[in-house]
Structure 1
Amino acid sequence: MAVFLWCFVFLSFSSFTVRVRGQFDSLGFISIDCGVPENSSYADSTTTIPYTSDFGFTDTGVNHNISAEYLTPGLSRRYWNLRSYPTGTRNCYTLRSLVVGLKYLIRAGFMYGNYDGLNKLPIFDLYLGVNFWKTVNISDPGSGTLIEVITVAPDEFMQVCLVNTGGGIPFISVLDLRPLKNILYPAVNATQSLVLFRRLNVGPTNDVAFRYPDDAHDRIWIPWSNAPFWTELSTNSTVQNIADDHFEAPSAVLQTAAVPVNSSALELYWDSADAGATSPNAAAAAPPQFFAVLHFSELQLLPANAARQFNIFLNGKLWYGLPFTPEYLYSDAVYGTNPTAGYRRYNVSINATANSTLPPLLNALEVFYAMRVADLATDAADVAAITAVKQMYQVKRNWMGDPCAPKSFAWDGLNCSYAISSPPRITTLNLESSGLNGEIATSLASLKALQYLDLSHNNLTGSIPDALSELPSLVFLDLTYNQLNGSIPAGLLKKSQDGSLTLRVGNNLNLCNNGDSCVLTKSKKSTPTAVIVIVPIVVVVLLVAVILVMCRIRKQRGLATGTSVKPQNEENYSRRENNNDDHSLQFENRQFMYKELEIITNYFEREIGRGGFGKVYDGFLENGTQVAVKMRSQSSHQGVKEFLCEAQHLTRVHHKNLVSLIGYCKDGDYLGLVYEYMAEGTLQEHLRGRTSGARPLTWGQRLRIALESAQGLEYLHKGCKPPLIHRDVKTNNILLTANLEAKIADFGLSRAFNNDTSTSESTPTAVVGTPGYIDPEYHNTFHPSEKTDVYSFGVVLLEVITGQSPILPGSDGVHIVQWVRQRLARGNIEGVVDSRMRGEYDINSVWKVADVALKCTAQSSSQRPLMPEVVMQLKESLELEEASGRSHNFYSGSINPYSRSENIYTEVSDVSQNSAFEVENVVEVSASGPAAR
C-alpha cells in the first residue's frame, strides 16, 4: 500500500521523545534560543547541546513567552519563548565566523503558542541571505514547524532573514547551525542548496526521534511506520558507514527497516504541492525540483540459498538502472544525481526481482527540493565597510540583512549598481540629517564603488579623513552643516579644482580657520621675490593682449565672410590633427562673443532643451541659418573641462553622422556652443512616442537611423586621429534632421584612446555615462575602451527593436538586455518587437539586428564585435528589409519643429539632474538517473 509522507509535516514537539546518549563536545555548533533574556544559556535537557541567547545575533525584535496553555509536559525549553518582529519589512540573524566554501545545515524552528493573545496564525517568508528559502505557514498554534536547508557558505557569515509579507508578524523560536563535511550531499554546491522536505526513520521499534549524539551532524530523523502493511526488521549490531560515505546516516537509524507484508513491493509517494517551495508572492514560480535519498542496509545474515534484490521505480520508470542488493550491516544509498521535476505526485516503488527470495526493505528516506542560489550578495568588502558604519553610528533605519539585495529590500539611503554576473556595489550613501555623532568613519574609504556621499546636517566632529581622497569613483561629497575642523585634504581639493568632484563643506565653523589650509599647496622654489611677482604679471599682460587681438581678428573675419556655415575640409582636419595638442585652445570654428549670442537667440527667447550643461536655445545666424545654442549655466555641475572637451573634439571631427559645431563662445564667464539645428530632435523622443503629430517610426526608418549612428561611431573609433571613445552613447544623444538623418551629439564625456591597445591612455578615476547604458566591464574596471561604446550601442539597438527604455518601467529594475534575452531564448521575437510597428517588418531582418544587439551587450568585451562589423551587419539587415518592399527613405510624419516637443536637445550627464541620490547603474542573466554506492 502506498504511504502518505506528509503525515509528519507539522509535528507537536510534545508528541515524541528524543533518545540521548553521551555528552556534547565542541563540534562548531551554533545553537540559539530566540527570545530568552540577554546572557542566558543552558544545556538542552535531552541532547545536552548548549543553547544561548540571540543577543548579538540580531539587534531588533521583541521577546515573548508563549501562552501558558501551550506549556505542555515534554515541550522542549527551546520553544517556551520566541522573538517577534512587529516593525520593519526584513529582520535578520547574522551567523558569523564561518568557513567560506564549507557546507552547513541551518535549521529554524517556529512555535506560535498564541504568544500575542490574538490567535491569528501568521504567514511570512524566510530568506537565506538574499535568496528566498521558504514560506513559513503556521497551521497549528501548539505544534512546532522546522525548516532546514543544507547550503554552502559564500562568505564568513550567513544571514537568516524573516520578511513580513502582510500575512502577520514574523517570529522565530530557535535557530541552529551545524557544520558538515564537504563530501556530504554532493548535490549541494555554490549555486544550489537543498531544502529538507522529509527525513524519515523507516520501521522504528518505538516512537523515538533520533538526533545528536546518535547523529553526529544533529539531523533530526522522524519515526515513520505503516503497520499493518509493513513489518519492521531490527538489529542491535552496529551498522557502519562505508568509506567516503556521501550521507553518513547514523547507525541508530539504519538498525531498523521496513519490509512489505504479503507483497513483493514497498510503495510510497509524496505530493509536490506539499513542499511549499516557492513564495505565494512569487509570480509564475517554477515547480520544485526534488532530490531523493533512499538509505539501505541488510540487517539479517542471509543463508547461501537466500537473496534480497530489488529494482527501484519512480512514477513507473526504472529510477536506478540495475538490481540493487543491500550489504549486510553497512550503509548504502541510492540517490538522484540530478533533480526530478514536473510531476504533481511522486510515486516510488521498490519491487523484488524475480531472482529475489526475500521482499525489499527500506531503512530510511530523505527528500529535498532544490533552492537555487541565483541572487548575488553585495560585494563582501562593501558589506564589511557599511556594517562598520552602521555599528559606529548605531544606525537603526531598515539596515538589516544584505545592503543591496534583494533590490526591493535595499537599505534606506543606499543606491547600488546591479550587474548580472558580479555582486552589487554600493554607489550612493545618503546619511543626511541622521543624527550622526563622532568622527567621519574611515571605513567609508573601503566603499570603492561609492560615487555620492552625503553626510550633511549631522554632528560630525574631527577632521576630514584623507582616505576619502582615495575613493576612485567619488564625484559628489557633501559635508555641510557639521562641526568639522582642520583643513581639507589636498587630494579632495585637487579633485574639486579639476572638476572631477563636487565638494561641499560649508557651515563647519572650525574648518579651514588657519589661513590657506584649504588652498591646494603648490611646490615652491627658491626664487627672488621680484621675479616671482613681475614675471607672472608680464605673462598675463601679454596673453591678454594676444587674446584680444585674436578675438578682434576672428570677429572681423566671421562678419566679413557673412558667417556662412561650411564644414571643415579634410586638409584642415589633417593639419590640426598633426599640429595641435588635445589640451590646447586652438579652435578652427567661429568664435562668438556673448553679445552676438544674445542677438542670434533674440536674447535667449526660445528654450528648446536643457541638460546637465545648461539650457539650449533656438537661434538664427545673420544669413538665416537656424542653429542650436547651448549655454553653460552657472549652477551646472559640468565645468570648463567638459566644455573644452566637447568644443575641441567637435572642431577636429567631421562626418555626416556627427553633429557639426558651428562655433563657440568663451567670453569671460560665459561658455556656449553653437550647433547645427536638428529639426526632429532625439531618437529617444520618437521611440517613446513623445513627438507631437509624428507617426511611429517604421522598421526601415529605425534601421537606417541605427546604421547611420553606427557609421558615426565607426568614424570616431577608426577615422579619428587619435581615435575617440564617446562614453555616453544613448538614444537621447542621437539627433535627427528633418529627413530623419541620424547624427551623434554630446561629446562632453569623450576620451581619446590608443587604437593599438583599445584602452584609455589616461587612468580614469570614475565611471561616467548614463544609467542603463553603462558597460558592466567598464563599471567594474573604470577603464573605458571602444567596446564601451559598442555595449551602449547594443542597448540602443534593443531600444530600436522594442521601443522600451533601458530599464523597463514598473519592472523593479529589469534591464532591457535581460528582458530581451529571456524572450528570445524561447524564440519569441514577436514578444519583444515594438507593437507600434504593427507587425510590418521583415522577421529575418529583426532577428539579425537582435542578434547583433545581444553580441554587442555581451558581458565580456572580448566577445563583442567592433563597430565596422556592426555597420556591416546593419547594412545586411537593411537590405533584407528593403527587399520586402516596405522600407522608405523619406519621413512620413510632421517636420514642423514648432509642432513637436520642446525638449529637442535634452542631455543627461553622468550626474542625475533631480538628485545625486537617484542615480542607479543597472547593467546587466539531460537528466540522469540516481546513483548508488
Structure 2
Amino acid sequence: MQTAVTPQHVSNNIEFTLDLQSFPSDLGYIHMLYFCELEHLQTKARREYNFYRNDVLRHSNYTPPYLVTDYIYSSEPFQVDQYKVSLNATATSTLPPIINGIELFAVIPTTIQGTDTQDVSAITAIKEIYQVHKNWMGDPCIPKALCWDGLTCSYDVSKPPIIRNVNMSFNGLHGGISPNFANLMDVQYLDLSNNNLTGSIPDTLSRIQSLIFLDLSNNNLNGSIPYGLIKKVQDGSLDLRYVNNPDLCTNGNSSQLAEGRTKLAIYIAVSVVVIVVLVLVAVLCFCFQRKRKQVSINYSVKLTSDGDGNSSLRLENRRFTYMELETITNNFGRVLGQGGFGYVFHGCLEDATQVAVKLRSHSSNQGVKQFLAEAQVLTRIHHKNLVSMIGYCKDGVHMALVYEYMPQGTLQEHIAREDNSGRGLPWRQRLQVALESAQGLEYLHKGCNPPIIHRDVKTANILLNARLEAKIADFGLSKAFTCDDNTNVSTNTFAGTHGYVDPEYQRTMYPSTKSDVYSFGVVLLELVTGKPAILRNPRPINIINWARQLLARGDIEGIVDARMQGDHDINAVWKTANIALMCTEQAPAQRPSMTEVVMQLQECLDLEEGSGGSGMNPHMGYNATINQSIGVSQNNTMFETAYNYTTGPPMDSSPASTR
C-alpha cells in the first residue's frame, strides 16, 4: 500500500486490461482493488473518481482515505473474455485517480471431496482403539483449517485428500501398536514416541511403501525389530528410531525372519568348515604381510584433549599413519578444497575406494580442539545425509580426518555454476538437495543422543555425491547439548560464517537448534535465488533482507534464479521461499523445527512433481496494460510509473497475502 499509480493530469484516466481468452470459458472471476491516499491534500484539493468494470459503472464518486487501506471488491463471481478496469476522475475532482493494488482471482469449480475412505477408516479405528479425544471429530482433513491435531494432509484438486504425516507423540497411548497404522498407505512420517506402548512392533508397518520416518522411541516395546523395517533402514529408505525401549531386542541376528534362521541352520555345518579354512589362510597371509611392511589395523584408540574441556575420545575407525596418507593421496598431489582446518586432498585406498583427506595445517587457527570435536561427532553419527568418516590420523604433529569422497563438490559451487546454455542447477534438483540437507540436520537435532548443533550450516558445508545426493559436512564447530529442554547450550566460543549466523546467537552466545534452522533458511534462499548469502551490488545487503523486500511486494519472480529459465512450479517456489522466511525469523521461538522443515519441503517436492515438471510460466496468458498516453512522474511517496502486473501465488501462506 506504500506505492501507487496515478496519471500526471486530472484529465487522464487509469485503465487496466487483461486478456482472459486463453482461460476456460466457464471460469468465474472475483477482483479486489486497493486504495489509499498517500498525499496530504490541501484544503481545496479533491480526489474523486468513478470505477468502471468492462464499461459498466460499479462505484461512483469514490474518494480514497488518507493513509488508511480501503478496497472495492466483487461479491459474486463474474464471467468475461476480457477484464477491463477504468478509473475516471469526476467533473469536480482536482486530482487524477489513484490505485495502490489490484488482484484478480479465478474461481475454480470443484466438488469438495472428503478424505480418502481407506485413510478415514484407518484413522477412525486408531482413534477408537486409543480413545483419542482432542479435536478428532468429523472429516480428518476437511476443512483444511480444522484438520485433526497431529495430522498433516496432502490436498489435490482432482483427488481426495490423503493423510501424509501422523504425530501421536506424548499422547499417553497404551497397549500395542495398532495394525490399522499399516492401512494408512500414503503416510510418510509416523511418530509414536514418548507413549506407553507395549508388545512387539508389527511387521505390517514395513508394508507402508511411502513410510520414510518412524519414531517409536521412549515406549515399552519388546520383541525384535521386524526384518522388513531393518531392510528399509539398510537401503536408506527409512529413518527408524527406537531408543529407550528397554525390552526391545536390537541385535541384528535376533531380528531376522524365522525362515532366515532356518536357512542359517541348514548351512551352518558347511559354513563352519569353510570359515576355519579361511581363517587359517588369513592368519598365514597376515603374518607374511607383517614381515614385509607395516599395515593399518582397525582398532580402538584414545585421543586425549588439549585442555579445552573435551573428554578422552574413543575412535573405532581406521587409524592411518602420516606415511600412509602420503601414499593414498599420491604425496598430497590433488587439492579438493581448503577451509579453516586446512587443505582437503583426494585419496584412493588399497581397494580403490576414493576418499577425501582433511589435513590440518600447522598454521590453522583450528587446532586439536576442533579436530577432536569433528572426530567425535563423526564417530557417533550415521545417516545417509551426513558425510561418513572412514578414519583419522594423529601421528605426532600430523592430524587428519579421512572421510568419504563427494565427487560433485559443494552446493555453493553448484549454485554459482551454469552449463553452456546458461542454465543452472534445475529447480527440482535444488528442492531434492534442500530436503536431503534438512533430513541430515533433523537427524542431528532429534536422532542423536545427546543431540548436536552443527553451528556452521552453509552451502559450502553441504556436499554432493556422484548422484547429486546431499550430505552435511564439516562438524568441527559442532556442540552436543544435554539441557533439559534440548534447546540450547552455553558456549564461550563464537562460531559460524558471516551471513548465516543467527542474530540471537550472535547477541547471547547461546546457540540452539534454532540457530541451525536460521542458517538453513539462508541456504534455502540461496537455492531459490542463486545468489550468495551477502549481496554486494549495488551495496552490501543480507540475502534475507533483500528477499523480504521483494516478497513483501509479491514479486516472487524477482527473486527466482533466472538461470532456471522458468523450469519450476511457482507454487513450490513460493512455499520454499515462505519456509525460508519462517526459518530466518528474528525470534527463535517463531522458527520451525527441522522436523517441521523436512515435512514442509517434502510438500514442496510433491507440488513440483505434481506439476509434471512443466516449467509453466505463471504469467502466461496475462497482458496487463495501462493507458500509455498519460505522463509519468515520481516522488518519494508515490511511484507514478507504467503499471507492472504481477501474479501472486494461489496459496494463503504467501507473503503477498499478508496485509
TM-score (norm 1): 0.34
Point out the structure with max Rg over C-alpha.
1
Greater relative CO, 1 or 2 (CA 8 Å, sep 6+):
2
Give the helix-richer structure, 1 or 2.
2
Structure 2 length as normaliser, TM-score?
Answer: 0.48
